[in-house]
Amino acid sequence: MRINFILIDFESVQPKSLAVLEHDHFKVIVFVGANQEKVPFEVASALQRMGANAEYVKISGNGKNALDFHIAFYIGQLAAQHPTAYFHIISRDAGFEPLLQHLKSKKIFSARSPNITDIPLIKASHVKSPDERAQLVIAKLQQPKASRPRAVKTLISAIAAFFQKQLTDVEVAAVIEAMQKAGFISVTDGKVSYAAVG
């Protein structure tokens, strides 16, 4: 399974628990600001349980975006070592968007989420029915600038990628069927068309 690096901007987001990240495919790095003196016991305890899959980085110095630059540096280093990894920045700071667009242009998988529970892989692991999975995919495709696959083959690949290739072919087909039942898409001769958004 693809490695997922979770880079937490602890100045922006202080998660109460990291238990959902205690799996081998997650590598967690918590970036702590120079002036932050305390980390909650639950977070410290979870990081200890993760062992080599987790670490702290206490940034040196202060300044606007100092922590953000540390995160960008680490992504660059890690992407060189793990070119197929997925990088999740956990932050409320929208200033990461230009970096994410640049990473995507370099074919580096990356996204920003305001909370750990908003990571698509975490969300996806909690939903089991085709209808629930379809609703997650529909929500993704309804986002501004989301590209909507026009061929069934491309849609299958997009759904598989969204769920990080954790679904079987049968489960992906069930998601497409649920999207059709919801009236979001129609499929004719291998082509996908989307309902007009009113």
Q: How many domains does the chain have?
A: 2
Q: Which of the 8 DSSP states describes residue 94?
A: G
Tens digits of residue pLDDT in 123-156: 766 667 889 889 889 988 988 778 899 999 999 9
Q: Where are the alpha helices (DSSP H) in 26-129?
A: 41-50, 66-81, 97-105, 120-126
Question: Looking at per-residue confidence, does 140 or 54 come out higher?
Answer: 54
Regarding whether 45 and 143 lie in a shared domain, the answer is no
| Domain end marker among 119, 146, 175 | 119
Same domain, 157 and 110: no
Q: What is the pLDDT of residue 80?
A: 96
pLDDT reported for residue 5? 96
Judge if 49 and 133 occupy the same domain.
Answer: no
Q: Is the pLDDT of residue 97 over 70?
A: yes
| pLDDT score, position 1 | 67
CATH code of residue 164: 1.10.10
**pLDDT for 2-12, tens place per residue?**
899 999 999 99
- The span from the CA of 160 to the CA of 1, in Å, is 13
Say if residue 198's pLDDT is above 80: no
CA distance 75 to 31: 12
